[in-house]
Amino acid sequence: MKIICIGRNYTKHIEELANEKPKEPVIFLKADSSILPNRNPFVIPPFSNDIHYEVEVLVKINRVGKYIDQKFAHKYYDEISLGIDFTARDLQSQLKEKGLPWEKAKAFDGSAVIGDFYPKEDYDINNLQFQLYKNDELVQNGNTANMLWKIDEIIAYVSQFFTLKKGDIIFTGTPAGVGKVNPNDLLIGKLVDKEIFAIKVR
Ligand code: MG
């Protein structure tokens, strides 16, 4: 399986990192070895002093598709979740500066937290409130209504480049409020007040 991630999908997050607003979705991949299942501890890797959390809505692909038309994109997923796109921000800044690929900063072991999945019918997918709490403090509060590219547009776009397969997961971008994690932090993700993941930092 593969993990496809969308960068710069919420205006306020683009502004907080002083990035340019993209004309097309920014895409990168994580490896299957990046996955950190719910309730496993996240271990801060030795190569970074600035690991950031980025809470994101996740979509799980349920059938094979390529060149998917946006109007049929909803047929290609039936479960959603929340996760964290852990990012070695110091390393990513160096790579960005040199125009190099981001994988070392984005696809390292444990960098893809994947929460529990729920049927999409349980939620209003285009008006979905989601939160990240760090040690009980609300640090990110997003709503999919503020996405630059909605889930169906993302599926249509990425399927032009990559064949989507059953079990693939899409990280749909983070809202504003990203920040550094420290040992002993507890990160809890909520989708409309329901706990979707809980991760302890080591
Ligand atoms: Mg992200």
Q: How many domains does the chain have?
A: 1
Residue-level pLDDT at 21: 74
User: d(Cα 151, Cα 156) in Å, to the nearest integer?
Assistant: 9
Residue-level pLDDT at 12: 81
Interval between CA 119 and ligand 1 midpoint (Å):
23
Interval between CA 112 and ligand 1 midpoint (Å):
10
Range of the domain at 89: 3-200
* CB neighbour list of residue 124: distance below 8 Å, 6 or more residues apart: none
Q: What is the mean pLDDT of the chain?
A: 95
Interval between CA 48 and ligand 1 midpoint (Å):
17
Interval between CA 86 and ligand 1 midpoint (Å):
8
pTM over 0.85: yes
> DSSP secondary structure string, 27-88?
EEEE-GGGEEETTPPBPPPTT-S-EEE-EEEEEEE-S-BSS--GGGGGGGEEEEEEEEE-EE
Residue-level pLDDT at 20: 76
Interval between CA 41 and ligand 1 midpoint (Å):
19
Report the pLDDT averaged over residues 54-65.
98
Residue-level pLDDT at 22: 76
Residues 184-196 have pLDDT tens digits of 999 999 999 899 9
User: d(Cα 188, Cα 38) in Å, to the nearest integer?
Assistant: 10
Q: How many CB atoms lie within 10 A of CB 81?
A: 21
Residue-level pLDDT at 11: 84
Beta strand pairing status for 186-191 and 194-200? Answer: antiparallel
Interval between CA 87 and ligand 1 midpoint (Å):
8
% of the chain at pLDDT higher than 70? 100
Q: Domain of 160: which CATH number?
A: 3.90.850.10
